[in-house]
Structure formats: C-alpha cells, structure tokens
Amino acid sequence: MDCPDENTLLAYCERALGHSQAQAVEAHLDQCSACLALVGEAARGPAQTTVVDVPEAKPGTDKPTAPASAPGRGTQLGRYVVLDRVGAGGMGVVLSAYDPRLDRRVALKLVRALDGAGARELEQRLLREAQAVARLSHPHVITVFDVGTVDGRLFMAMEFVEGPTLRQWLKETPRTWRQVLHLFKQAGQGLAAAHAAQLIHRDFKPDNVLVDAQGRARVTDFGLARLQDTAPALPTPPRANLPDDDAAPLTRTGSLVGTPAYMPPEQWSGEPMDARGDQFSFCVTLYEALFRIRPFAKGHPPDFQHLQSPAHDTDVPAWVRRVVLRGLSVSPADRYASMDALLEDLGKDPARRRTRLWATVGAVAGLAALATLPRLFAEPAPCTGASARLASVWSAPREARVRAAMLATGASLAGSTMDAVARHLSDYARAWEAGYTETCEATHVRHEQPENVLALRMACLDSRRQSLDVLADALERADAALVQKAAEASLRLPPVSDCSRVESILSLAPEPQDPAARARLEQTRLRLSRAQVLLETGRYAQGRTEATAALEEARALGYRPLEAEVLHVAGWLEHRLARNEEAERSWTEAVRAGLAGRHDRLALRAATDLVFVIGYELEDMKRGLEQAAQARALMERVGSDDESAGRLENNLGLVYFGEGQLPQSLEHYQRALVLRERVLGPEHLDTAKVLTNLALVRTRQGSPADAVSLYDRALAIQRRQLGAGHPLVANTLILLGDARRLLEGPEAAVSFYEQALALREGTLGDTHLDTIRLHNDLGRLHEQLERFDSARVHHEKALALTARAFGEEHAEYARSLQALASLEDRQGHFVAALKGYERTLALQTRLLGEKDASTLRTREERAAVLRKAGRAREALVEVQAVLARKEADGGPRQPRLVTSLVELARTWLELKQPENARVAAQRALDIIQPLGWSPTRRAELQFTLAQALWATKSSRPQALALADEALAAFTSAGKAKQAQAREVALWKQARSSP
C-alpha cells in the first residue's frame, strides 16, 4: 500500500482536495496508523513555544506576517491619534483614530510592515490603488480620506462606520427579498462606481459590505485582496473559532483569510480577473442572501457545474433569480457586460413600476415645498451642483478677502488664526457639499427618500449655508476683537450633520406654506444666523438686538421650532452679558417653545443649558438638579446621544463644583470626559474644557500633580486648535501655573504667569481687564516669595492701568486698591493697609452695595489687619457683622462662611476667649467636612482649632493630635506649604516640651 505524500495529506487537512480524493485519503487513514499520525500532526498546528524560543538571527527578519504591532491608545500616527484597536486581519491592523483636521473619528487601516525584494513595488501598487479608491466618492463606498505612509507603514484613513456587516445584517433578523434586493442594489452601485473608476474589488463578499446607521450599504476594502488571499506563511496564526459556515468574519474589517466560496471560476484557474469577476462574487453573495444557501457546493474549487437549490420554498420572484443566475455564469462572457447592466435588470421590478407612477403624482403635490429649490430641477444632472452652490458662500477668493481683512487688523494673532479659520471653514464646506450631494441623491438617484423629506433636509442645509455666509461676512469686516474669537467661531457653526437627522427634522411642526409667510421665515432665519455669529464673535449687545428682532418675527409667524431656536441663542447672548436671570427666562421659554413645536433636540439643549445657569451661575443647586432630571427625561425621549449626555454631565459637574461638593463634581466631569472623548474625540476643544474643569477639582482636592497633567493635555489641544497665541491658552497657562505653585511652591508659577502676561499683552492689549488682573496675580506671587519690590511694581501697574481703562470711580479700581492694601498688610505696614482698605471699602459700598461679596471680603480682610494691629475689639465687631450678613443671605452652613469663621476664631484667640474661638473653628471644620476640600485647607482650620483647644486647657491632647494632623498635611504638600508646616512645628515644639 502506497502512502499519500505529505502534499496530499496537507491538502486533506486544508480541505483543498476534491470529494473523491478526500475519501481516498480517509480510506487510507483507516488502514495506516503512520499516516493517521501525520494527519494528526498536521491538523494540530505548531507547538506554542516554537518561535519564541528561537533567537533572532538579525534585526529586521521578524516573522514575516506577525500580527503588526498595534499602536496603543493615544499614540500619534501622522496627524491621527489612536483611540482604539478595532480588529486585525491578513492585511494588518484596523484602528479607530481621531483625525483633528476633519475633527472626527476615522478607521485607520495600518498595513503590516513589508520588507524584502518585492516590498517597495507591492507598496507602490497598493498605494496607487488606495489613492484611486480615495478619489472615489460614492454614497455606497466607504470614503477613504487619506492614504500614505507613516513610520514606513502604509495606512488608509477611512470613514468610521458603526454598523453590522452585510452578513451580520442578514443574520440579525429574517429579511424579505425586497429588503435584501434594496440593500444589494446599493452595494452594486458602489461596485459599479468603482468599476467606472477602473477599480476592481476582487474580494466582494458579505463581510466587505457594512450597513451604516442610516441603513445604507457601504462597500469597503477595495484591492486589499492583494495582501490577504493566502494564509500567512509562518507560523500558523492563532485561528479563531470558526462558526459553522466556512466564511467567518474575524472582525468587521479584517476578514478571514481566503473565503473561496465567493471567488469566480477564472480566479481559481489563475487567470486575470476583470470587473465581471466582481459581478460573479456579487451574485454569489446575493444568491446566498436570497435563498439562504450557497449557489455551489463547498470545495476547492466549489462545484461550479451544479447549482444548489434552496431547501425551502421561496417567494423570490423568478425574474430576480434569472438576473442572479446570469451573473453566476462560469464563463465571464456569459455574464452581464457590466454591473450597471445587471443593476438595470435588477431594477426592473414589474410591481415597482406601478408604484413609481404614484411617486410622480406625489411629487407634483410636493412641489409647493420645493419652491425654494428651483435650481435643483434646472440642473441636468440632478446632484452635481454642491460645489457650485457652496462656492457662492465660501471660495478661494472669499477666503483671500477674509485673510486680507484679518491681516489688515494688525492683530498679532491674525496669521495663525486665519490658518485655523481657513482649515475649519473648508472642513465645514466639505461636509456641506457631501451632505448636499447625499441628500439630493437619496431622492433623485437612489429614489429612496420622499420628496417632502428632501425639501426639509434641503431647507436645513440652506440654513447651514447661510450661517457660513453670515460668518464669512463678519470675518470680511474683521477687527482686532473679532480676530480673537474667529478661530472658535469658525468651529461653532451649527453642524451640517443635524440635517441628516431625518427623524428629528420630520418630527418638527410643519412650516407655514403660504409664500408670504415663507419669505418671512427665511428672513427670520437669516437674522437668527446673524445673531448666532454675533454671539460667537463676541458682539453680544449687537447680537441681542438682532435676536430680539428675530424673536418678534418668529412669534408673529407663530412657528414654534424657530422661536425656540431664537430663544436659545438669545439666552446665550444674555448669559454672556452676565444677565443670567434673563438667560434663565429665555431658555425656559425655549424649552416650552421647543416642546410645543416638537423640536425635542432644541428643548433638550436648552434644558441642559438651564442646569448650568440655574445650578451654577445663579447658585440654586436644587433647581439646577431638577432641570437635570428634566433634561434626562428629554434625552430619553430624543434617544440619548453621547454629545448631549456629555454636555449634561459637564454642567452637573459645574453645579456641584459651585457648591464645593468636589467628589460629586469629579464624578460628573469624569463621565463627561469619557463621553466627549468618545463622541468628539480627544482633540476637541470641548474635551479640553472638561479637562480644565477636572483639573480645577483635582487642584481643590489637593492633587495638583493630577491637575498639572490634565492642564498639559488641555493646553496641547488648545494650542493645536486655536494657535499658540490664543487668549484661552493664556488662561490655561495661569491655571497650570497655579497647580505647579501648589506642587512646587510659588517660584514654579512665575514663568507661567509671565508667559500668560506676554500673551495677553500681545493679544488683548495692556488695558484689558484680564491683563490687568494678571499683574495683580503676579504681584501676589512675588509677595509669597517675599520679593515685595517686584510685587509693588505689578500692583501699582495694575492700579494705573485700571485708572486708565475704567477711571477711578469704578469697582475694578477698588479691586486694584485692595490688592495694594493687601501687600501693605503682608509687609506689616498696618496703618497703610488700613488706609488702603478704607478707600477700597468706600468705593465698593458706593458702587456695589453692602451686601456684595467683594465688599464683604474687603471688610473681612480689613478686620484681620485690625486684629494684627492690636485692635482686636474693633476686629471682632467687624467680623461678626460680616458673618451675620453672610448668614442672613445664605444660611448657617454655607462654605462662604468658612473664611469668616476662621477669622473670628483668630480674633477670639487674640481676645483670650478660647472657648468662643473653639466654637467658631469647630463650625468651620463641620462645614467643610462633607465637601472634600484639600488636606491643606482642612489643615489650616485644624491648626486654628488646635490653638483654640490648647488655650481652653481642657483638651490639650486633642489639640496636639489636631496639630499633628495639620502638620502632616502641610508637610506632605511639600514646598508650597513649607512656611505653614514650620509654623505648626514651632507651635507644637513650644507646647510638647515639658
């Protein structure tokens, strides 16, 4: 008996033998234990440890097809930032990544590193083909945004589609043949478009078609078959558990190596394959989807001579079957000449022809709605006009005009800001064009969208285009102030993607139909766009006038959805003007108008904004939380999306932060961060906002090290998105300086403050309030470093600039006076300090009133000086008055009382009334206990309490224990609290020695 050779045994294991050959092998195995052992060995795969044990011969000769090392989250690849690993396949790895230029998530295919003789040429071919795919723009082909090499590896950045593969879609639930056909026609159009661009897919199968959120078929992975049609060489890769049928997707994008069921006969015979090969694969896929059985029996190659009939009765019409069978012809010449021809026949549904007549009648009825879109019909090819329509609004000449206008302002930021603006606006323009084409084609090419939906979506797109126009208009007339806001404003145009939320557009109350009303509606929309741009460019007062006019018009029209939108913008303008009560009123009305007009998304947005204006700005936590509950209910109704959820969490974080409830605040911010990183990406400005919010909490909680790294991240984002000179960057630099100060002492902050000062002087000017206040902050830093001369220079500069900017009869002037008085106090010049505080107080009482927080704060500081100057009686009266006023306003347990209570305790100590001092200090501690403040803030109170307790002589051990705790807290805070630590240590030493 002759044993089969190793080739045959391996072919048996790989199922590469025909049926009769395989049987012959099995018959032999029945008799021959040696060959059985060989088959067993071959089936088993290599020993696990083999390759690991082998020392590397030389660098660069790694396993040729080792799964390409996948860069981890946060890795920068070119301009992309890796978010996640999505899958891996024969061709390499698939990552999800953030593209800061497009500001969106993309799928990044990273081709495995190639090396060796043919690598260069193979890469060139892949690159050429990928570039061809990238030039292809078709609604049923996954868009490839970018192709290139990074770190020597070929990559493709493509649209990230969240949705099942066609295979999964078919398995999810039984589909009617019409549903199946509908989806396949779309995929077929994608293939046809590729063929028209000289591209052949070569690996069409149900795993290479995705069904996106809108239910559209999207073909992907063109040409990648070059890399993956054989199994990798060595070692045998870990094979995934195979579900029953032999074509199993490993991942949604990386497909299982070799799925021979879909390959055309000519590929089996090694002949070159043309577009008709794709047609064959398409028909295998379609046959399988319709009849739930493969057309040809399994095998290598499959048995192309015998068609397998469906096991069950089927309601698929005979004409569909005929079309599919022609595509399955063994000889390419017998198939359709092209995909287009095949699709044409697939479209000849006798039943559909009747319904299409109906559609025409419906279109006539819908013409009124289309009155605003006459050009749509004038154009010969219905959906090619996107760029032309947009060019009237944003084009190279207009960009040049805007650039010239911005540069003419002479603002130092103009150049870099303009670059950012141009980038953002061209992204916006691209998104608009894509949206326009897609919307138009859905009706006029794919015939899947009713005319009335088209009209509504087009109206939405028109309003987006108008917003762009209005912004461009404002930019053409830029001044220095506008330059500062331009980069952000260009990012904050209303998103084009809203216009593809068909469901929420359809749910809106219907627009008025008579022509006069429609004209007024357009007019109001224009005003709304203007108000929006004025808001984003910082011209709040002007914006408010515009919004008020728009509101009147919208109300006169009685069109509630628009009224809601106007109210929402109005609320923001009011908030920016610090009229928070009015903002609350506007947003409350916006919620109502939104609900009345079935504009749920807007209602949700306004309710979310209410959380923050009521709960944080107006400091009414209870009502703020009620609003949050309202917003959550709306979110449930609208269908929760991460962006809204992220906004709500951030606002809740603010509310709790405002109340000093740091752990809760932290929790909400953290949730907001996760949501925003997911939906907006880790490089978005709003993500940076949460980062700085989080950092502030961590600072207050006494973890400045955490804060520093959070600020670093935020700073990097802001610099990238807004330019390194942007005023927001200066703000973050200061916050970062503060965190560093807590970590390493005041010296560490100086350079950050100085950088920020230079930025502000350059961009905001000398007399901008932010610049002036930064002088005071720098002054205070120098005070801490006991460099009193430098401190005085800064404070006096601030005073002079305030006088220049605001005059001497102004609250800001009072604040500058106060800063100087505080310096005198620190230097021990109590008389001068008191004089300064009295001037400050006189101004503040006159301008702000007695109840104002700043007035009270000044009184408190003055009381402290009185105490230090030996006038404790007077100090006591003063601090008690302040305390009483605060209590009258906000109750006995508010955090605002803490500073007053500490001062009170110190005064009582000075007056040798330790029991009273103890009571005050204990109260302060009780207030902060549940708030989670930083250990050093608590330590200050503990030390005060310790001093009081010691003085009462009744609980000295407790006093020493408290002092110990305080000392420990100060010591572990490091350099920043050195002085305090020393003070406590000395105090203790004096008391614990016998």
Partner 1 sequence: MYTPRDMDLPRPDEDAYLRASSAWPGVELNRDVFRSHLNARGGTTPGRHVEDLYLACACARGLPAALAHFERRLLPTARQALTRRHMAPDVVDEAMQRLRERLLLPREGAPPRLAEYDGRGPLETWVRTVALRLALTELRERAARPIPLEEALLPVQDASFAALKHRHHADIEAAIAVALASMELRERAFLRLHLVENVGVEDIGRVHGVSRATMTRWLKAARDTLAERTHAELRRRLKVEDSELDSLARTLLSGLDLSVRHLLR
Q: Give SS3 for 566.
A: helix
* Comparison of 52 and 516: residue with beta carbon closer to partner 1: 52
Judged by CB under 8 A, which of 77, 122, 847, 961 binds partner 1? Answer: 122
CB of 269 to partner 1, least distance (A): 7
**Rounded-to-5 percentages of helix, strand, coil across the chain:** 65, 5, 25
Helices (H) and strands (E) counted in the chain, each on its own, are: 43, 10
Judged by CB under 8 A, which of 153, 195, 605, 988 binds partner 1? Answer: 195
Judged by CB under 8 A, which of 1, 2, 20, 117 binds partner 1? Answer: 117
- The answer to whether the beta carbons of residues 28 and 4 sit under 8 Å apart is yes
Classify residue 714 as exposed, middle or buried by CB count within 10 Å of its CB (0-12, 13-18, 19+): buried
Element (H, E) at 856: helix 853-868
Element (H, E) at 92: strand 92-99
* Comparison of 243 and 890: residue with beta carbon closer to partner 1: 243
* Comparison of 67 and 232: residue with beta carbon closer to partner 1: 232
* Comparison of 227 and 841: residue with beta carbon closer to partner 1: 227
- Interface segment toward partner 1; rule CB under 8 A; list 2-10, 600-608, 747-755, 791-799: 2-10
Strands 209-211 and 153-159, by their bridges, are unpaired
Q: Which two tokens stand for residue 616?
A: 């944080």
Classify residue 461 as exposed, middle or buried by CB count within 10 Å of its CB (0-12, 13-18, 19+): buried
* Comparison of 24 and 618: residue with beta carbon closer to partner 1: 24
CB of 16 to partner 1, least distance (A): 5
Size of the site for partner 1 (CB under 8 A): 91
CB of 687 to partner 1, least distance (A): 40
Q: Is 203 marked active-site? A: yes
Judged by CB under 8 A, which of 174, 272, 350, 374 binds partner 1? Answer: 272
- Interface segment toward partner 1; rule CB under 8 A; list 125-133, 522-530, 615-623, 840-848: 125-133
CB of 413 to partner 1, least distance (A): 48
Task: Choose, from 99, 203, 609, 825, the residue flagged as catalytic.
Answer: 203
* Comparison of 5 and 315: residue with beta carbon closer to partner 1: 5
Q: Give SS3 for 374.
A: helix
Give residues 474-533 in contact with partner 1 (rule: CB under 8 A): none
Give residues 30-69 in contact with partner 1 (rule: CB under 8 A): 30, 33-34, 36-47, 49-51, 53-54, 57, 60-61, 64-65
d(CA 400, CA 429): 16
Q: What residue has token string 């590469």?
A: 16
Give residues 633-692 in contact with partner 1 (rule: CB under 8 A): none
* Geometric angle at alpha carbon 168, from 165 and 173, rounded to 5°: 135
Judged by CB under 8 A, which of 260, 347, 495, 895 binds partner 1? Answer: 260
Residue 489: C-alpha distances to residues 492, 535, 544, 575 (Å): 5, 9, 17, 17
Q: Which two tokens stand for residue 727?
A: 């005023």
CB of 551 to partner 1, least distance (A): 58
Judged by CB under 8 A, which of 68, 77, 134, 231 binds partner 1? Answer: 231
* Comparison of 300 and 306: residue with beta carbon closer to partner 1: 300
Check binding of 149 to partner 1 (CB under 8 A). no
- Interface segment toward partner 1; rule CB under 8 A; list 7-15, 154-162, 175-183, 281-289: 7-15
Check binding of 23 to partner 1 (CB under 8 A). yes
CB of 258 to partner 1, least distance (A): 5
Phi, psi at 58, each rounded to 5°: -155, 160
Non-local (6+) Cβ contacts of 882 within 8 A are 856, 859, 860, 863, 900
Judged by CB under 8 A, which of 15, 356, 447, 846 binds partner 1? Answer: 15
Judged by CB under 8 A, which of 115, 172, 581, 786 binds partner 1? Answer: 115
Check binding of 407 to partner 1 (CB under 8 A). no
Cα torsion at 36, 39, 43, 45 (round to 10°)? 110
Residue 303 pairs with which residues in a beta bridge?
A: 297
Cα torsion at 376, 381, 385, 386 (round to 10°)? 100
Per-residue contact string for residues 65-104; x = within reach of partner 1 by CB under 8 A: x---------------------------------------
Non-local (6+) Cβ contacts of 54 within 8 A are none
CB of 361 to partner 1, least distance (A): 38
* Comparison of 122 and 961: residue with beta carbon closer to partner 1: 122
* Comparison of 10 and 502: residue with beta carbon closer to partner 1: 10
Judged by CB under 8 A, which of 93, 227, 320, 931 binds partner 1? Answer: 227
CB of 275 to partner 1, least distance (A): 7
Instruction: Kindly write down the DSSP assignment for every residue of 683-700, as one continuous string.
Output: T-HHHHHHHHHHHHHHHH
CB of 24 to partner 1, least distance (A): 10
* Count of other CB atoms within 10 angstroms of residue 717: 22
Judged by CB under 8 A, which of 300, 306, 322, 912 binds partner 1? Answer: 300
SS (H, E, C) 897-910: HHHHHHHHHHHHHH
* Comparison of 133 and 634: residue with beta carbon closer to partner 1: 133
Check binding of 242 to partner 1 (CB under 8 A). yes
Per-residue contact string for residues 902-921; x = within reach of partner 1 by CB under 8 A: --------------------
Phi, psi at 887, each rounded to 5°: -65, -40
Check binding of 804 to partner 1 (CB under 8 A). no
- Interface segment toward partner 1; rule CB under 8 A; list 72-80, 133-141, 262-270, 436-444: 262-270
Q: What residue has token string 């090392």?
A: 69
Residue type, 463: S
Question: Minimal CA–CA distance to 345: which of 485, 181, 220?
Answer: 181
Classify residue 883 as exposed, middle or buried by CB count within 10 Å of its CB (0-12, 13-18, 19+): buried
* Comparison of 10 and 517: residue with beta carbon closer to partner 1: 10
Check binding of 118 to partner 1 (CB under 8 A). yes
Judged by CB under 8 A, which of 232, 382, 450, 974 binds partner 1? Answer: 232
* Comparison of 114 and 461: residue with beta carbon closer to partner 1: 114
Judged by CB under 8 A, which of 87, 89, 254, 258 binds partner 1? Answer: 258
Question: Minimal CA–CA distance to 475: which of 403, 396, 573, 394?
Answer: 403
- The answer to whether the beta carbons of residues 573 and 551 sit under 8 Å apart is no
Classify residue 563 as exposed, middle or buried by CB count within 10 Å of its CB (0-12, 13-18, 19+): buried
Q: What residue has token string 């070929």?
A: 154
CB of 234 to partner 1, least distance (A): 5
Judged by CB under 8 A, which of 72, 243, 510, 890 binds partner 1? Answer: 243
CB of 43 to partner 1, least distance (A): 4
Give residues 322-381 in contact with partner 1 (rule: CB under 8 A): 333, 337-338
Judged by CB under 8 A, which of 21, 160, 212, 229 binds partner 1? Answer: 229
Judged by CB under 8 A, which of 226, 352, 375, 846 binds partner 1? Answer: 226
- The answer to whether the beta carbons of residues 642 and 678 sit under 8 Å apart is yes
- The answer to whether the beta carbons of residues 119 and 227 sit under 8 Å apart is no
Going 368 to 374 to 377 to 382, the CA torsion angle's sign is negative
Check binding of 230 to partner 1 (CB under 8 A). yes
- The answer to whether the beta carbons of residues 737 and 752 sit under 8 Å apart is yes
* Comparison of 68 and 434: residue with beta carbon closer to partner 1: 68
**Whole-angstrom distance between the N-terminal and C-terminal Cα of the chain?**
106
CB of 133 to partner 1, least distance (A): 13
CB of 720 to partner 1, least distance (A): 36
Residue numbers annotated as active site:
203
